[in-house]
Amino acid sequence: MGYDGAMKSSPSKVFPAALLAAAALVLPMSPVSAPAHAQAGGKPLPSIARVGSELNMFIELHNHLLFASRADEDALPEYRSAVKAYRDAKELAKDPAVMQTVTDACIAGPDITAIGSTVTRLPATMSPADQEAVRKMIGAIVSAWPRFERTEGPEHRRSLQTIWSRVMLKHWGLVQDRLLTKLYEKFAFLPLDKSITLYPVLETTELGVSGSTAQGYYAVIPVMKAPNLMIIEEMLHEVTHVIDQYQPPASQSVLIRIRRRAGHVDPQALNSFMHGLITWNAGELVRRLVSADYKPLIDVSSPMREPLAPYLANYEGPWAGYLEDKLTADQAIDGMLAGLKPAPPPAASPAAPGS
């Protein structure tokens, strides 16, 4: 999910503030170069499979207001009415489509007028309360934009530009072929019909914010104070979710096969396990393919590691064996599912009166 559990994609997870503070030093990156003939599932990696990134100040403002709306204190007095609108919208919104609509509008743009016009074409199936929530948030963005563009926006842009050019362009450009090649190969993914673009934002709300517009698929990545390789890991993590979510109908990816075979598994356990597999795999691929000294997020963040502790043996055993070509995909799937908590038995039907 994403903001307030109201977005598609991965279950929410937050970079702990203490972790980011401790990791504020930029980790060095080993010199690497893209392989001459990158492969995806045994085939050359198509250009559409490569992942780009862009700055988008509309999504930065949206994230800035959302971040402030969660603070107990009056964090942004100059945007008091806009922040209040976000808080009011949170109370009104019941459908994940509310936040998805607002985020999609910010990503699609292309200008503040077009974003404002979103409220004129809300689906009739959206409830009145949810429509009002969208209107409040879009209205807040439109009203706050002139000040943000004139005052805080340039500083936000400079900070984002530094991280974007250093990590999301230069470093990701050096390693994405080897990472995506292995990702496509091991998960047996098919290429999507549109490209994926990643958008950095400064403040951490929640991760896993993604969606689709006419221009392509996207994910939003918080980057403030995160070391280079941590950003690379999170980029790979979110890209995995997007590729998985939008696989073509013909796909027989490993994640699809796991879900099909997991009928005996407790649904909540399966959801946690699947998210954990994507988390563990992203960090492990960065460690294996980019820097052997890198410590993945799951190894340095207790809040991220603890919920996944019951499944670590599955990842470190069968899945690691599969990454090392010691097991087939089917053997790894069977090995991992064998260790998951079974679904509870169906509740017994109440006895008929007089029986």
Q: Per-residue pLDDT tens for 112-159?
A: 999 999 999 999 999 999 999 999 999 999 999 999 999 999 999 999
Among the three residues 245, 269, 292, which one is the final residue of a domain in this structure?
A: 245
The answer to whether residue 232 sits within a structural domain is yes
Mean pLDDT over 345-350 rounds to 61
| pLDDT tens-digit series, residues 280-323 | 999 999 999 999 999 999 999 999 999 999 999 999 999 999 99
Domain boundary among 193, 217, 245: 245
Exposed / middle / buried, residue 287 (Cβ in 10 Å: 0-12, 13-18, 19+): middle
Same domain, residue pair 95 and 76 = yes
Number of separate domains in the chain: 2
Residues 193 and 316 in one domain: no
Whether residues 176 and 324 share a domain: the answer is no
CB atoms within 10 A of CB 352: 6
Are 75 and 130 members of one domain? yes
Does the residue 240 lie in any domain?
yes
In this prediction, residue 206 carries a pLDDT of 66
Residue 19 has pLDDT above 50, yes or no: no
Q: 65 lies in a domain?
A: yes
Which pTM was predicted?
Answer: 0.86
CA Rg value for the chain: 21
Q: Are residues 329 and 226 part of one domain?
A: no
